[in-house]
Amino acid sequence: MSILTPKQKEIVEREAQILEIARPIVVREGYHGLNMDRIAEAVQYSKGTIYNHFSCKEEIIIALAIKNVAKRVELFQKAAQFKGRSRFRMVAIGEAAEMFVRDFPDFFMFEEIIQLPSVREKTSGKRQAVIQGCEMQCMSVVAGIVRDAVAQEDLELPEGVKPEELVFGLWSLTSGAYSIMLKSESLEQMGLEDPYAIVRFHTAALLDGHNWKPHSTEFDMDSLLKRIRREVFSNE
Partner DNA sequence: GTGGTTTCTGACGGTTCGTCAATAATGGAA
Partner DNA sequence: TTCCATTATTGACGAACCGTCAGAAACCAC
Which residues here bind a copy of itself, judged by CB under 8 A?
Answer: 29-33, 112-113, 115-118, 132, 135-136, 139, 161-162, 164-165, 168-169, 171-177, 179-180, 183-187, 189-192, 195, 198-199, 201-202, 204-210
Residue (37 or 165) nearer to DNA, CB: 37
Q: Which residues of 31-58 are buried (b: 16+ CB within 10 A; e: fewer)?
A: beebebeebbeebebeeeebeebbeebb
What number of other Cβ atoms are within 10 A of residue 139's Cβ? Answer: 16
Residue (9 or 28) nearer to a copy of itself, CB: 28
Q: Which of 2, 3, 5, 217 binds DNA (CB under 7 A)?
A: 5
Please list, in sequence order, all residues whose beta carbon lies within 8 angstroms of the beta carbon of residue 77, skipping any fewer than 6 positions away.
141
Pairwise CA distance, residues 97 & 73, whole Å: 10
Interface with DNA, residue 41, by CB under 7 A: no
Residue (11 or 198) nearer to DNA, CB: 11
Interface with DNA, residue 57, by CB under 7 A: yes
Q: What character string, x for contact with DNA (CB under 7 A) and - otherwise, covers 98-137?
A: ------------------------x---------------
CB of 235 to a copy of itself, least distance (A): 30
Interface with DNA, residue 202, by CB under 7 A: no
Pairwise CA distance, residues 92 & 94, whole Å: 5
Q: Which of these ranges, 30-38, 69-77, 98-106, 167-175, lies near DNA under the rule CB under 7 A?
A: 30-38
CB of 192 to a copy of itself, least distance (A): 6
Pairwise CA distance, residues 71 & 75, whole Å: 6
Query: C-alpha angle 137/99/127, rounded to 5°?
Result: 40
